[in-house]
Amino acid sequence: MGIRKIVVQGDDRLGKKCRQITDFNKRLHILLDDMKDTLEKAEGAGLAAPQVGILRRVVVVADGEGGMIELVNPEIVEQSGTQTGPEGCLSIPGRWGMVTRPNYAKVRAQDRNGNWFEVEGEELLARCLCHELEHLDGHLYIEHIDRFMTEEEVDEYFAGKEDQ
């Protein structure tokens, strides 16, 4: 297991469409394990393979309960509702923007062994699923922002979340 370097905005790999995984082998398992370690160290909500320089359709997402969801070859199969809120990205450090996303998302994906499953989420999990899957097609959240948030707005928003 290891920590991988997170590539940042300006790196060409973040703008490329990722290829499907066809071999569910030890290399994939190492990638998934490293991505989980990297995400945990970075204290993020999700991480897509292109963010660590690998152009494959692989994502890990924090499940909100202390665990992580591994998604291989994921695709959104259902979404509904809307939510608007602050969004950041490990590949765009220190910047937050207001983004409107679906409030509900269902994703169909494969696990590390190639078995198909579905995961669904609302609110933050839905936001995270949509955000991370966009990375696999070469898109960043800043393509959707109404505006960047000031540091004070970000601090105020998260201070309000801690009070709840």
Q: Which two tokens mark 18?
A: 């990722």
The yes-or-no answer on residue 132 being catalytic is yes
6 in a structural domain: no
Amino acid, single-letter form, for residue 69: I
Amino acid 163: pLDDT? 62
3 in a structural domain: no
81 in a structural domain: yes
Question: Around Cβ 15, how many Cβ atoms within 10 Å?
Answer: 13
Angle of CA points 145, 149, 154, to nearest 5°: 125
Q: Is the pTM here over 0.85, yes or no? A: yes
65 in a structural domain: yes
Q: Which two tokens mark 152?
A: 């004070």
pLDDT in tens, 103-133: 999 999 999 999 999 999 999 999 999 999 9
Please count the structural domains in the chain: 1
pLDDT category at 1 given cuts 50, 70, 90 is: low
1 in a structural domain: no
Which domain does 122 fall in, by range? 12-163
4 in a structural domain: no
Q: Which residues contact 150 (CB under 8 A, 6 or more apart)?
A: none
pLDDT category at 64 given cuts 50, 70, 90 is: confident
Report the alpha-carbon distance of residue 60 to residue 39 in Å, rounded: 8
- As a whole number, mean pLDDT of residues 8-15 equals 96
* CATH number, domain containing residue 79: 3.90.45.10
Q: Which of 40, 132, 152, 162 is the catalytic position?
A: 132
55 in a structural domain: yes
Q: DSSP string of 109-150?
A: EE-TTS-EEEEEEETHHHHHHHHHHHHTTT--GGGT-S-BPP
